[in-house]
């Protein structure tokens, strides 16, 4: 087990190796996440609407 001073030194060395994203990369990724979330929500809304309409029609047909 390393002593605390060595541990902190190793942590600082590892943090120095991290490649942080640029501001532009973060903004681009964030926008893409919002676009994909919107597309997924619209898709699932339409699928839900189709299933609801189909089941309502089936129940109406069987009930008549």
Residue 14 lies in a domain: no
| Host domain of residue 38 | 21-63
> What number is the average pLDDT over the span 12-41?
96
Determine the pLDDT at residue 1: 61
Whether residue 35 is predicted with pLDDT greater than 80 in this model: the reply is yes
User: 3-state DSSP call for residue 59?
Assistant: helix
Other CB atoms within 10 A of residue 32 CB: 10
Burial (CB < 10 A; 0-12, 13-18, 19+), residue 31, is: exposed
Residue 27 lies in a domain: yes
Residue 37 lies in a domain: yes
Q: How many domains does the chain have?
A: 1
Residue 49 lies in a domain: yes
Residue 30: partners with Cβ closer than 8 Å, 6 or more residues away: none
Residue 31 lies in a domain: yes
The whole-model pTM stands at 0.68
Residue 53 lies in a domain: yes
- Count, residues in the chain: 64
């Amino acid at each position: 087990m390393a002593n605390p001073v060595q541990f902190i030194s190793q942590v600082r060395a590892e943090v120095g190796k991290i490649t942080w994203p640029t501001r532009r990369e973060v903004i681009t990724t964030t926008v893409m996440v919002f676009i994909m979330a919107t597309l997924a929500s619209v898709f699932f809304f339409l699928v839900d609407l189709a299933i609801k309409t189909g089941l309502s029609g089936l129940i109406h047909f069987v009930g008549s």
